[in-house]
Amino acid sequence: MPGVSTQFNIADEFVSRLARAHPEKLAVLGSERQASYAQLENEVGRVARALRDSGCAVRDRVLIVLPDSVEFIAAFFGTAKIGAIAVPVNSFARESDYRHYLRDSGARFAIVHAEAFPALRSALTPALRLVVIVGSEWTDTTMGRPVVRWEEWLPAPLEGVELAATGADDPAFFLYTSGTGGPAKAAVHCHKDMMFTSHGFAQRVLGLRADDRVFSVSKLFFAYGLGNGMYFPFSVGAGTLLFPERVRVDLIWPFVARYQPTVFFSVPTFYAALLREFDAGYPLDFSSVRLAVSAGEALPAEIFKRFRERFGIEILDGIGSTEMLHMYVSCRPGKTRAGSCGVPVPGYEVEIRDGEGWAAKDGEIGDLWVKGGSMFAEYWNHPELSARVRKNGWFSTNDKCVRDAGGFYRYCGRADDMMKVSGMWVSPSEVENVLLGHPAVAECAVVGRADGEGLVRPVAFVVLQSGVSAPGGGFDSELHGWLHTRLVGFKCPQEFHIVTELPKTPTGKIQRFLLRQ
């Protein structure tokens, strides 16, 4: 990665730099208002001025509860520009989630969309000094704190505030983990981290170009979506396509047809949903897409193969995390393997370790550790946990992986999702991928459950393909037979549950812990 100077600020690197070089080029496109890089820089400067005039100081936290929009981008980089810390969170969350985010982050300012404000209103904390409402006529006060409208709060267009003299290693933003294993934790990221992931993954792996139009199904408030839909395209002067609404296949396919993205980011469950719609007769058109990328969970080999057959596109699967900000293992264009998440991204070191902490042999499932310049500084308010997962410059991902003799990695699941059956490790993703090959199966999840004797056995939950009615009583035997001819016996579930949907996080990850209950 090119050297990052001691004084470094992401607002200058990802917005102002492009505004100076290409002021009229469109940075933001899509279903909301468009904005050139010059217009975006102006909006960032207005937010920075308004925050500073409102008393926001260096390292104050600013909670951002906004859909994907110019306002989100302006709020994020406007906060960073004055040396404060942006805290973007799920704009579709519940009251209890907002209460946790506010109390945990200690945010003094909040920029909130009107649709999210009712859920956040009762969660306001004494530390909160100001709430700014986007898209509302709201003018009252709440619990003694002023609530102002975005349009009234922003100053008239003018020369922006001076860039804060932040350092590359100064904190710039918090990103909350998905919280599947307890309350969500805030990973603290520094100004340099976006530069590192942009150079290693967006530029050296994907080869993003200035003429690309990038679209991310994952939202900006997630680590994956934040890179995909904001700072990756900005790092090369490309355009991002923003879609503020909740993501649904019936809304996305006409959006793709209209705006013709060249790079498409999504998660495995959404790729599976796209295939179901295409097979049901919807005229999905991906002819403009030169790169399709997947992360969040392992991309099943069956989904990879079917997508390639339908659309002629090989999905690039990869592994990333909130703590590392984005991808650190990924397939390369023209060098994909079904069922594999690829090889280490430039700039990252990756190790698979056994239970004793030694390097595992090729072909052996072990614990995945990663090292690289985008690693989070700490979990906010969790020093003991931070010390436990960060050791000697390495981060313990809590993922189980295996590497083959060719150096390609395969994701096996979260450590707490793995099953030990008959004394041997079973990867749920391996069993799920075989199940997905059955013509009646659209989605599935496999978990370990203790039987009456306390022994762990694999259990499968299955969503059927659209238009397929629930089969008769022999369907369990049919599925078991399908698996038994493709896997060794101890890996094959004998208990199957037909369900209409699987529980998922907002990022599309299957919540297997709910199925184990």
Strand partners, 146: 141
Distance between alpha carbon 225 and the CA centroid of its chain, in Å? 5
Q: Which CATH class is domain 10-188?
A: alpha beta
Q: What's the confidence (pLDDT) of residue 248? A: 86
CB-based contact 465:276 (threshold 8 Å): yes
Q: Which residue has the tokens 């969309």?
A: 113
- In what side-by-side order are the strands of the sheet with 109-113? 141-142, 145-149, 130-134, 109-113, 61-65, 85-88, 171-176, 186-190, 378-379
pLDDT digits (tens, 9 = 90+) for 288-336: 999 999 998 888 898 999 999 999 999 999 999 999 999 999 999 999 9
Tens-digit pLDDT profile for residues 89-143: 999 888 888 999 999 999 999 999 999 999 998 888 888 999 999 986 655 555 5
pLDDT-derived band at 18, boundaries 50, 70, 90? very high
Domain ranges in the chain are 10-188, 190-370+395-414, 419-516
Number of C-beta neighbours around residue 138 at 10 A: 18
| CA nearest neighbour of 174 among 71, 70, 345, 59 | 59
| Better pLDDT: 127 or 265 | 265
CATH superfamily assigned to domain 419-516 = ANL, C-terminal domain (3.30.300.30)
Q: What confidence tens digit (pLDDT) does each residue in 204-244 have? A: 999 999 999 999 999 999 999 999 999 999 999 999 999 99
pLDDT for the residue numbered 172? 98
**Considering the chain, what is the average pLDDT of its residues?**
90
pLDDT at res. 506: 74
What dihedral do alpha carbons 429, 431, 435, 437 form, nearest 10°? Answer: 70
Asked if pLDDT for residue 422 goes beyond 70, the answer is: no
452's tokens: 């009456």
Q: What percent of the chain has pLDDT over 70?
A: 94
Q: Which pLDDT score, from 0 to 100, does residue 250 have?
A: 87
Q: What are the backbone dihedrals phi and psi of residue 489, each rounded to the nearest 5 degrees, phi first?
A: -55, -40
* pLDDT value of residue 454: 66
Rounded (5°) CA angle 166-167-168: 125
C-alpha distances in angstroms, 434 versus 98, 164, 200, 430, 455? 39, 53, 33, 7, 23
Position 480 pLDDT exceeds 80? yes
pLDDT tens for 352-380 read: 998 888 999 999 989 999 999 999 999 99
- Report pLDDT for 4: 66
CATH classification number, 190-370+395-414, choose in 3.40.50.12780, 3.40.309.10, 3.30.465.10, 3.40.640.10: 3.40.50.12780
CB atoms within 10 A of CB 141: 11
pLDDT of residue 142: 54
Question: pTM for the full model?
Answer: 0.85
Nearest to 440 by CA among 418, 459, 460, 457: 460
Size of the chain, expressed as the number of residues it contains: 517
pLDDT of residue 138: 58
Q: Is the pLDDT of residue 438 over 60?
A: yes
- What does each C-alpha distance from 370 to 192, 389, 391 come to in angstroms? 18, 11, 10
Pairing of strands 26-30, 35-36: antiparallel
Which backbone phi and psi does 92 adopt, to 5 degrees? -110, 20
State the pLDDT confidence band at 496, using cuts at 50, 70 and 90.
very high
For strands 186-190 and 171-176, give the pairing.
Answer: antiparallel
Model pLDDT, residue 7: 87
Q: What confidence category does residue 249 fall into, taking pLDDT thresholds of 50, 70 and 90?
A: confident
Residue 419 near residue 428, CB atoms below 8 Å: yes
- Note whether 10-188 and 419-516 share their fold: no
CB distance 101 to 64 below 8 Å: no
Beta-sheet strands, E only, within 144-262 = 145-149, 171-176, 186-190, 213-216, 239-242
- The dihedral built from the CA positions of residue 262, 34, 199 and 85, taken in this order, carries a sign that is negative
